[in-house]
Structure 1
Amino acid sequence: MAAGLLLLVCAGAVLFSAGAQDPYDELADNYKIGVDLALEQLNSHTGVHHHFHFLRSLEKSDIESGFGVKYLYHHFYLKPTTCPKGTTESNTQRCPFRNDRPLMDCVVCYKTADDRIESSPKPYVHCIQKPRLTKEMTTTRMEHCKKMSYNSGAPTLLAVSTGKN
């Protein structure tokens, strides 16, 4: 009886993991472009040697201001993989995560129009290894995103939260 129950639990776990989606694929397109912007900036640094992959969202918010314009805030983690920097997205599914390196804690805030990032106001991207993130940095991030005043009389970007994940 116990062996049958164990077999059933194992079979369920295999089926569940086989159907699991990549967290990046579950993001709305407007948030994906912000993650892509952070990855692009991270990969431009010479000190970064490995490919990073989106792990999970911590906080997301957006304000729709009409005419296809949105202001987005996204706080998320990136995790290093064993693949070298420059690995194409089609090959990243075969890149296992590294557990010997810290997560990258990232915040992006930006304006989109018709699902494309606008250059004004300039998009804000800040990524740092999680253990190195200080309270002062967290405050600076929040203040920077709040300063991106979008419309006179409109609520601030961080006042509207769509929840976690």
Structure 2
Amino acid sequence: MAALFLLLFSAGALLVSSNAQEAYNQLPETYRKGVDLALEKLSAHAAIQHHFLFFRSVTKSEIEPGFDVSYIYHHFYLKATKCQKGTVDSTGCQFRNDRPLIDCAVCYKTFRGEIEQEPKPYVHCIHKPTLTEEMKTARVNHCNTLGYSSGSLTLLASTGAK
């Protein structure tokens, strides 16, 4: 009986850890690149001790003015895992439920699917409980400015998928 319980528990743990990456894998490639950029910046902070993974999208928006150019806005959550910072293979990492989510907003320009360095990509991530309305407004304004600087529509006015 104990062996059966252990087998079921192991299978459940494997299913949970594979679901941790499933949400990320279902994102379109251009959105995954923005998540990767946010994760890279997050792991560069000395205060971060755990490995984080994409948890879920809040808002996605994309404007395609033509000529293989896109403007991307992605608001999403990252969640801490039980793995240590710097973990290379995160397939075995399980989400922790004792840490707050990290709320991230990124916006950037892509050309032929690659993130352009100009205008500089914008990445803003903060623990969800400390995110203020002023910060949310500043994010939106910054990302709208990104679109205006090139003469395109505003990112947040598009009818992208949610």
- Name the TM tier (shorter chain): 0.7 to 0.9
Return the offset for 1:118.
0.3
In structure 2, the partner of 1:61 is 61
In structure 2, the partner of 1:72 is 72
In structure 2, the partner of 1:38 is 38
Return the offset for 1:161.
2.7
Could you list the per-position Cα deviations for residues 19-40 of structure 1 after superposition, in whole angstroms to 9, with x for gaps in the alignment?
9670000000000000000000
Between the aligned residues of both structures, percent identity stands at 54
The one of 152, 155, 158 aligned to 1:157: 155
| Contact 1:60-1:161 within 8 A present in 2 as well | no
Return the offset for 1:102.
0.2
2:32 equivalent to 1:27: no
CA distance in 2, matches of 1:85, 1:109: 25
CA distance in 1, matches of 2:56, 2:97: 16
Tell me the secondary structure at the aligned position of residue 25 of structure 2: coil
| Matched letter for residue 46 of structure 2 | T
Could you list the per-position Cα deviations for residues 37-84 of structure 1 after superposition, in whole angstroms to 9, with x for gaps in the alignment?
000000000000100000100000011121111000000000000101
In structure 2, the partner of 1:108 is 106
In structure 1, the partner of 2:140 is 142
Tell me the secondary structure at the aligned position of residue 138 of structure 1: helix
Return the offset for 1:150.
4.5
CA distance in 1, matches of 2:155, 2:54: 23
Return the offset for 1:151.
3.5
Please give the root-mean-square deviation of Cα atoms over the aligned residues, in Å.
1.7
Runs of at least 5 residues in structure 2 that lack an aligned partner in the other structure: 1-11
Segment of structure 1 superposing worse, 143-152 or 96-105: 143-152
In structure 1, the partner of 2:119 is 121
Larger Rg: 1
| Matched letter for residue 118 of structure 2 | S
| Matched letter for residue 87 of structure 1 | T
Could you list the per-position Cα deviations for residues 102-151 of structure 1 after superposition, in whole angstroms to 9, with x for gaps in the alignment?
00000000000011100110000000000000001001101100111254
